[in-house]
Amino acid sequence: MSTTVSHSERAERPITGRTVLLYFVSFFGIIFAMNFYMVRVAISSFSGVETESAYKAGLSFKNDVAAAHAQDARHWSVETSLQRGDSAGVTITARDAQGQALSGLTPEIRLAHPTDKRRDVPLEFVELDSGHFKSLTALPEGQWDLVIALKRETETVFRSKSRISL
């Protein structure tokens, strides 16, 4: 018995310079297209800007440090409580070093989104009595930074930033 091996009728195509060029251009064309797409999606979803002017932020650093030292020297107690459920909201109580309620303060409070400044939510507060504030704004669910700024006239006399989960 003899066995014969038959080759397929199809002849192999030789690799020419034109074929290599076509593969080369196709490979890098696909990589370029995917990079272009990924950069476009990244830029449209997050601008990357944390500070409008890094130079001005650097210049104000000494002022921020001085304000933090002045805040520590006051020994104020600012307590925050979160209520959940039907009457969900934030309550803030500000007291001086002797435990007396602070008066004449204007709160500027916001929920800052940890990754996207465009999703920040400013909270509207009402002063119930001296140094005691309650939010009027509905609180969105999720993880937020509660940024508290208490002002007396135009000067910010207290600053705080805390991570909360609603």
Q: What is the pLDDT of residue 130?
A: 86
Cβ pair 123, 109 in contact under 8 A? yes
> Worst-scoring range by mean pLDDT, 35-39, 72-76, 87-91, 138-142?
87-91
pTM: 0.65
Lowest mean pLDDT among 9-18, 44-53, 98-107: 44-53
Burial of 105 by CB count in 10 Å (0-12 exposed, 13-18 middle, 19+ buried)?
buried
Residue 28 has pLDDT above 90, yes or no: yes
Second CATH level (architecture) for the domain 76-165 = Sandwich (2.60)
pLDDT value of position 9? 60
